[in-house]
Amino acid sequence: MSQYLTFRKLESLEEAQAIQQLLDTHNIPSQLEINKALLDTNLIGQQFDPAYWVKIPSGAFKTAETLVRESIDVKLHEVEENYYLLSFSDEELMEVIEKKDEWGNYDYALALHLLKTRGIELTDADLERIDQQRIRSLAKPDNGNNLWIFIGYLSAAFLGALGLFIGFFMLRTKKTLPDGSRAYAFSDRARRHGKYILFTGCAAVLLWLVPSLFLGIATPVYALLFGVLSLTSAHF
């Protein structure tokens, strides 16, 4: 059974439901998830990720992409005169095509139409090549932030939950690519640091656990271990 992965992130419920209705018409199952802040905005600031996430089986991404693209009917005479894409150069319109994951479905379809009216017609083979180049670019892992790596080690060494979270996050986090495939978000180097941060945290727990047991302070230790086990069973 295919894993459900995020296909679209949308600003409004109406947009999300429209995508779901289209998918349902073509027998592609979907799930609607409302994105909630993982952390208090007082700590990390305002989050700008769209609120409504449409998820579909990973194996249905290509078919769904084609359906969404073909469902949009662009009529230039209906486009507002001051619509921003109308003032884009050929190079800027090509960037919309190359980075369609950063633009809405309508903007992508309109960019294709505008390029065609300017004598630049992209074939299906051209679009497939552009999509594959984009996927390779997005698949490149992040090397990690050295400051956060240092904070992770420091926090883990002193039994801080933040350190364990950073370690687990760097080691296990994956990102969903436009074709539905999954790739590790961080490079091998960063993931090694994530593993070592977790090891540091576990070693610190053990160093604290043994004397605590001898001193008869078992309850807080068990509570800490329960929290660690809960953290490491999380899914991203």
Q: What is the pLDDT of residues 84-140, one digit of tens each?
A: 999 999 999 999 999 988 888 889 999 999 999 999 999 989 998 999 999 999 999
Q: What is the pLDDT of residue 189?
A: 94
- Shared-domain flag, residues 26 and 52: yes
State the CB neighbour count (10 A cutoff) for residue 110: 23
Same-domain pairing of 131 and 60: yes
Most confident of 3-7, 158-162, 210-214, 226-230: 3-7
Same domain, 89 and 199: no
Highest mean pLDDT among 41-55, 68-82, 128-142, 194-208: 128-142
Three-class secondary structure of residue 128 per DSSP: helix
Q: Are residues 178 and 223 in the same domain?
A: yes
Residues 167 and 78: their CA atoms lie apart, in Å, by 52
Regarding whether 159 and 126 lie in a shared domain, the answer is no
Question: Residue 1 — very low, low, confident or very high, per pLDDT cuts 50/70/90?
Answer: low
Domain closes at, from 106, 124, 139: 139
On whether both 132 and 183 belong to a single domain, the answer is no
Distance CA 17, CA 165 (A): 34
Q: What is the pLDDT of residues 65-81, one digit of tens each?
A: 889 888 888 888 888 88
Picking from 124, 139, 154, the residue at the C-terminal end of a domain is 139
Residues contacting 174, CB < 8 A, separation 6+: 182, 183, 184, 185, 236
pTM (predicted TM-score): 0.66
Residue 122 sits in the same domain as residue 158:
no
CA neighbor of 193 nearest in space, from 169, 176, 219: 169
Domain check: are 66 and 172 in the same one? no
- Domain boundary, last residue among 139, 157, 177: 139
Q: What are phi and psi of 140, to 5 degrees?
A: -65, 125
Task: Provide the domain limits for residue 17.
Answer: 4-139
150 lies in the same domain as 128:
no
Nearest-angstrom CA–CA distance, 147 and 161: 17
- Per the prediction, the chain carries an average pLDDT of 83
Distance CA 77, CA 72 (A): 15
The answer on 217 and 188 residing in a single domain is yes
Look at 20-29, 40-49, 90-99 and tell me which has the smallest mean pLDDT: 40-49
Q: Any alpha helices (H) in 82-123, and if so which ranges?
A: 90-98, 105-117
Say what the pLDDT of residue 212 is.
Answer: 65
In this prediction, residue 46 has a pLDDT band, given cuts at 50, 70 and 90, of very low
More confident residue, 224 or 183: 183
Domain co-membership, 165 together with 115: no
Domains in the chain, number: 2
Q: Does one domain contain both 219 and 151?
A: yes
